[in-house]
Amino acid sequence: METHQGRPGRLTAQRALEVYVAICTVLVLIVLYGAFARPDQGVVAGELYVRTGVSAGAGE
Amino acid sequence: MTVAALASQPPTKYQRQLWIEGLLAVAILIVAWIYGFLATRSPIEPLVSNVLPGVQSVRADGEIFTGLDAQGRVVGHAAAADATGYGGPVYLLVGVDTAGDILGIQVVEQRETPGFYALLRDRRFLQGFLGRPAASPFVLGEDVDVISGATLTAGAVAEAIRLAARKIEVGALVRTVPPIRFGFPEIALVSLFAAAIMLTRVRGPRRSIFRWVIMLVSMLLLGFWLNQPLTLANFASLLVGYWPTWQDHLYWYVLLGGVTAMIMVTGKNTYCYTICPFAGVQECFGKLGDAKPFLPVGGYRRLRRVTRWLAVLALALGLAFRQPGAASFEPFGTLFSFSAGFFPWMLLVFVLFASLIILRPFCHYLCPVGAILDFMLFLRNQGKRLWKRTKAAPAG
């Protein structure tokens, strides 16, 4: 049970926690964007390796 | 109050909200899955000339492509195959010359966890297959080098090359059955599960010590040594249908099966509480900073909703783009493999710093795995409640 004295402090702590979660959520969204927007993820005809040498990049 | 009386009580407002959220999440995931399924795989034939240089025309015979030069002479054969690594499959096209040696390899698609695949690229792993006889066994640790930190990914590449080479060799699809691998990682995982179940029966001061022992062992084995904790990628792979061959990926099945079984049987989320290596790291930081649990009434449920919807968003993206590995936003890999970009590192630093003040901040407010396991637990308890109610109804 919260006391009257502890309540303002608790509310401030709760607000700080909410800000912390919001920042982390933004970071998670950026991480997700970065992962799904990577050009080398699921790209059709990606890297090509042939015996005579190595060439990176799209095929035809 | 008896169990039957408890079961007969109507669901609370919060439980009703969870049901609505759960149904909405399932609907979103189904739509994402259908979208991903309808995305077609790229045609292979136009790529054959890439792996068989000098080819002017291609003749297709089922899954085998024969490359012909300008005079109509056979230059070589090509076939594609895929195999699943840690976070998703790698799909490769392999060209073999008339002497039976590998002439070229093209990555048609790869949906592996970016960090693991990058390790292979850095070590020039694929180049090592060029010029080798297609009839080679291509078994990791035998005639193929193990890539430390990306063992499953390297194994998937070797397997895809082996399968493609065998197709060419026998002229038909032959999926060779790999040998069953039950080694130290699997034994360690089963032992940790057994210890976690035993912990549920331990009482008194020894319980805390026992839990810390399990947590530290798991942190070292599943975390820093194997770098294979349960992640969102595991669930995304399961839902997408990228199931690895069980014979050489027993760990994957034991991990998912064990966690699910523990929830269904014990009714407790023992994995998060005891086994998760990242939870162990957070608790170690918590000890350093004398962290306290902070779960504000009302605020906790609201923030927990954010966690659930982050998990749904990441899963839906993984299903829609068929990239289970990319869905995994947890900083587990960042910490245990020390390899990630700027933002995953930022997230890890934020989480570890908060762990000094709040006990397990990632577990309580961000972890998608915890959100999924909690939802499974909720379904289990609701199912049990309904069953009890059905059983109690005739008596009433």
How close B259 comes to chain A (CA, Å)?
25
Amino acid type, B207: R
CA B295, CA B316: separation in Å to the nearest integer?
Answer: 28
Contacts of B310 in chain A (CB under 8 A): 25, 28
Find the farthest-apart pair of alpha carbons in chain A and give their distance in angstroms, rounded. 78
**Could you read off the pLDDT of B195-209 as tens digits, one per residue?**
999 998 888 889 999
Stretch (H or E) spanning A33: helix A7-36
Instruction: Compute the distance between CA of residue B63 and CA of residue B168 in angstroms, rounded to an integer.
Output: 9
CB contact (8 A) between residue A27 and residue B131: no
| Chain B residues near residue A48 by CB distance under 8 angstroms | 50-51, 104-107
Structure tokens at B207: 């319980």
- Quote the CA–CA distance of B381 and B384 in Å, as a whole number: 5
Distance from A57 to chain B by nearest Cα, in Å? Answer: 10
Q: What pLDDT sits at residue B175?
A: 46
Q: How far apart are CA B290 and CA B388, in angstroms?
A: 42
Neighbours of B288 (CB within 10 A): 10
Residue B236 pLDDT exceeds 70: yes
User: Taking 50 as the threshold, does the pLDDT of residue B255 lie above it?
Assistant: yes
Q: Specify which residues B201 forms β-bridges with.
A: none
Q: Name every chain B residue with its beta carbon within 8 A of the beta carbon of A40.
A: 110, 114, 117
Q: Is B243 left (phi over 0), alpha (psi -120 to 50) or beta?
A: beta
Q: In chain B, which residue ranges form alpha helices assigned H by DSSP?
A: 3-7, 13-38, 48-51, 114-122, 151-170, 184-199, 205-218, 232-240, 250-266, 270, 277-289, 299-320, 324-327, 332-337, 342-355, 361-365, 368-392
Q: How far out from the chain centre does Cα B11 lie?
A: 34
Look at A44 and B109 and tell me if their CB atoms are within 8 Å.
yes
A2 closest CA partner among B388, B299, B325, B257: B299
Radius of gyration of chain A (CA): 25
Q: What's the gap in Å between the CA of B395 and the closest CA on chain A?
A: 40
Contacts of B46 in chain A (CB under 8 A): 59-60
Please report which confidence band the pLDDT of residue B395 belongs to, taking 50, 70 and 90 as the band edges: low
* pTM: predicted TM-score of the whole model, two decimal places: 0.74
Q: Alpha-carbon distance B362 to B82, whole Å?
A: 35
Minimal Cα distance from A11: which residue of B? B296
What's the CA gap between B215 and B212, in Å, rounded?
A: 5
Which pLDDT does position B329 carry in this prediction? 93
pLDDT at residue A55, rounded to an integer: 46
Chain A residues touching B108 at Cβ < 8 A: 44-46
The distance between the two most distant Cα atoms of chain B, rounded to a whole number of Å, is 88
Q: Band of the pLDDT at B40, cuts 50, 70, 90?
A: low
Residue in B292, B365, B367, B369 to test binding to A, most A beta-carbons within 10 Å: B365
H/E stretch holding B338 reads none
Measured CA to CA in angstroms, residue B41 lies from A36, A45, B44, B100, B321 at distances of 18, 11, 9, 28, 12
The answer to whether B296 contacts A48, with C-beta atoms less than 8 Å apart, is no
Across the interface, whether the CB atoms of A60 and B350 are under 8 A apart is answered no
Q: What is the dihedral of CA B191, B197, B201, B205, to 10 degrees?
A: 60
Mean of per-residue pLDDT scores for chain B: 87
Pull the structure tokens for residue B188. Answer: 């360690």
Nearest CA in chain B to A28: B329
Task: Identify the pLDDT of residue B89.
Answer: 82
What type of residue is B338? F
Q: Does A50 contact B103 at a Cβ distance shorter than 8 Å?
A: yes
- Overall average pLDDT of the B265-289 stretch: 94
Query: Among A37-51, B66-80, B158-172, B362-376, which stretch is predicted with the lowest mean pLDDT?
Result: A37-51
- Check whether B260 has a pLDDT greater than 90: yes
Contact yes or no for B326 and A43 at CB 8 A: no
B295-308 average pLDDT score? 86
Reply yes or no on whether the pLDDT at B72 is more than 70: yes
The B102-110 sheet, strands edge to edge: A53-55, A48-50, B102-110, B89-97, B74-84, B64-68, B57-61
Interchain pair A45, B47: CB under 8 A: yes
